[in-house]
Amino acid sequence: MSLLSVRDLSVEFATRDGAVRAVNAVSFELRPGQVLALLGESGSGKSVTLRSILGLHPPVRTRVGGEVLLKGRDVNRLDEQARQALRGGVVSMVFQEPMTALDPVYTIGRQIEETLVQHRGLDRAAARRRARELLDLVQVPSPERCLASYPHEISGGMRQRAMIAIALACEPELLLADEPTTALDVTVQAQILWLLRDLQRRLGLAVIFVTHDLGVAAEIADDAAVMYGGRIVEQAPVRELFRAPAHPYTEGLMLATVRRGQKGRALVPIPGAPPNLVALPPGCAFAPRCPHVKPPCLETLPPLHVVAPGHGSRCHLVPARFASSPALASSATGRGGLS
Ligand SMILES: Nc1ncnc2c1ncn2[C@@H]1O[C@H](COP(=O)(O)OP(=O)(O)O)[C@@H](O)[C@H]1O
Ligand SMILES: [Mg+2]
C-alpha cells in the first residue's frame, strides 16, 4: 500500500479578488522510503500542497477537494484529534524558516521534550534523555549547550537542526521539508542537505522535499514532480527528468538554473510571469510563455501523456515531440496520477 496517496487534490482560497485556485487536480503516490522533490517557481502551489497533507489549512475561506490518504486514512475527513495523532506519529514537517516555527520563549531542550511528552507519552526524565539523543542524531556538536539555549542564541543552521530533531521526535514515516535550506548560508545549506539525506537513508523515511533548486533535487530525490499554476505538469524519476524533460516548462526551468558541471553556460530566464491563479486560462497555464505553443494549447487542458514508465507530462505536444517513444502507444491516461 502507498504510504501517501494524493488524489485529485484541489485547494481554493476565497479572497477579495476572487477564488485563488492554488492547487488544481494534483495526484501522486509515495511509497515508504521514497524521496519526492516538488519543483517549480514561487507561487506554483508547492507549500499549499504540503500543508494539505498535514490538513493544516484553516477551514474558513478555504475549499479543499479530492483526497489525501495517509496510510489509507483521508486526512480531510478526520477530526482534529485524529489529525493531530497523524501529525504526531506518521508525518512531520520541517519549515523554511525555523525561527518562525520554534517558540522564542522556551529553550530548545524544553521544546523537544514537550513534543516527546505530548506525542510519545514519555515522562520528563525519559524525554530529557531522548532529546539529547535526538540532538546527537542531527549532529549538533555540543548538544548540552544547545538543549539549554533559546532559539535566538544559536545559529540558523543549529536552529534548523533543532527543528529537524523536533520533527523526528515522533518517529515519523513521512517527513515534509518545505525549502528547509533556503534561509541559510550556502555552506550551511549543504550541511543540512547532507544531514537530511543521511537521516532519510538511516531511518528509511519517505520525504517530500520542496525546492526551487534543481541541483538539490538531483542530489537527494528519487523522483521529481514539477508544479506550474497549481498543477503537476511533469513527473518522473529525477534522473530521467533531467536527461529527457518532456514539458517546455521543465526545459525552461533547467535553462534558467545553475547546475553543477555547467559553469560558463548562459542562463536563460523564462520570459513572462506565472499565471494569475484567480483567472487560470482554459488551456495549458504555461501556454502564454511557451516557445512551442500551438492553438490547442490555448483551448484545452492537456491530459497526462506517459512518455516512459513513471514519466508523465501534461503537454499537448508530447505525442508530436516524442513520437518515437514506445510508451506513447498507451498514452493519455487522463486525469489520474502516474504510479
Ligand atoms: N491563505 C491563502 N489565501 C490566499 N491565497 C493563498 C493562501 N495561501 C497561499 N495562497 C496563494 O496560493 C498560491 C500558491 O502558494 P504556495 O503554495 O505558497 O506557492 P509556492 O510554495 O509554490 O511558492 C500563491 O499564489 C499564494 O499567494
Ligand atoms: Mg512555498
263: which 3 cell numbers? 559553469
pLDDT value at position 327?
Answer: 63
Instruction: Evaluate if residue 144 carries a pLDDT over 50.
Output: yes
Could you report the per-residue pLDDT of 231-252, keeping only the tens digit for each? 999 999 999 999 999 999 999 9
pLDDT value at position 328?
Answer: 62
The residue whose grid cell reads 535526538 is: 134
Q: Is the dihedral of CA 182, 60, 64, 282 positive or negative?
A: negative
Mean pLDDT of 182-193: 87
Closest C-alpha to 224, from 46, 35, 94, 49? 35
Instruction: Evaluate if residue 22 carries a pLDDT over 50.
Output: yes
pLDDT value at position 335?
Answer: 43
Mutate to test the pocket of ligand 1, among 47, 179, 182 (most ligand atoms within 8 A of CB): 47
Alpha helices in the chain (DSSP H): 46-53, 80-89, 98-101, 108-120, 124-137, 143-147, 156-169, 186-203, 214-220, 238-243, 248-255, 295-299, 318-321
CA 45 to ligand 1: nearest atom: 17
Determine the distance separating the centroid of ligand 1 and the alpha carbon of 277, expressed in angstroms.
9
pLDDT value at position 263?
Answer: 66
pLDDT value at position 59?
Answer: 78
242: which 3 cell numbers? 533531467
Could you report the per-residue pLDDT of 324-333, keeping only the tens digit for each? 766 664 444 4
Between vectors from CA 179 to CA 77 and to CA 237, what angle results, nearest 5°? 80
Burial code of 259-271, b = ≥16 C-beta within 10 A, e = fewer? Answer: eeeeeeeeeeebe
Please state, in angstroms and rounded to a whole number, the distance separating the CA atoms of residues 65 and 107: 39
Report residue 266's pLDDT band, with 50, 70 and 90 as the boundaries. confident
CA 48 to ligand 1: nearest atom: 17
Q: What count of Cα atoms within 13 Å lies in the side-chain half-sphere of residue 280?
A: 20
Report residue 89's pLDDT band, with 50, 70 and 90 as the boundaries. confident
Report residue 212's pLDDT band, with 50, 70 and 90 as the boundaries. confident
The residue whose grid cell reads 511509497 is: 31
Determine the distance separating the centroid of ligand 2 and the alpha carbon of 212, expressed in angstroms.
9
Could you report the per-residue pLDDT of 8-19, keeping only the tens digit for each? 999 999 999 999
Please state, in angstroms and rounded to a whole number, the distance separating the CA atoms of residues 3 and 208: 12
> Which residue's CA lies nearest to atom 19 of ligand 1?
43
Q: Between 167 and 99, whose confidence is greater? A: 167
pLDDT value at position 113?
Answer: 96
**pLDDT exceeding 90 applies to what percent of the chain?**
72
Q: Between 45 and 99, whose confidence is greater? A: 45
pLDDT value at position 334?
Answer: 44
> Which residue's CA lies nearest to atom 20 of ligand 1?
43
pLDDT value at position 35?
Answer: 97
Ligand 1 neighbours (beta carbon < 6 A): 13, 15, 20, 22, 40, 42-48, 277
> Which residue's CA lies nearest to atom 14 of ligand 1?
45
> Which residue's CA lies nearest to atom 24 of ligand 1?
43
pLDDT value at position 312?
Answer: 97
Mean pLDDT of 146-169: 95
Report residue 258's pLDDT band, with 50, 70 and 90 as the boundaries. low
Instruction: Evaluate if residue 209 carries a pLDDT over 90.
Output: yes
What is the CB neighbour count within 10 angstroms for residue 231? 24
The ligand with the least distance to the CA atom of 179 is: 2
pLDDT value at position 267?
Answer: 81
pLDDT value at position 134?
Answer: 97
Mean pLDDT, the chain, rounded, equals 90
The residue whose grid cell reads 508547492 is: 46
Burial code of 213-230, b = ≥16 C-beta within 10 A, e = fewer? Answer: bbebbbbbbbbbbbbbbb
Instruction: Evaluate if residue 336 carries a pLDDT over 50.
Output: no
> Which residue's CA lies nearest to atom 7 of ligand 1?
13
Count of positions (residues) in the chain: 339
The ligand with the least distance to the CA atom of 182 is: 2
Q: Between 59 and 328, whose confidence is greater? A: 59
Please state, in angstroms and rounded to a whole number, the distance separating the CA atoms of residues 113 and 169: 9
The ligand with the least distance to the CA atom of 52 is: 1
HEC string of 175-241? EEEECCCCCCCHHHHHHHHHHHHHHHHHHCCEEEEECCCHHHHHHHCCEEEEEECCEEEEEEEHHHH
Report residue 297's pLDDT band, with 50, 70 and 90 as the boundaries. very high
* pTM for this entry: 0.92
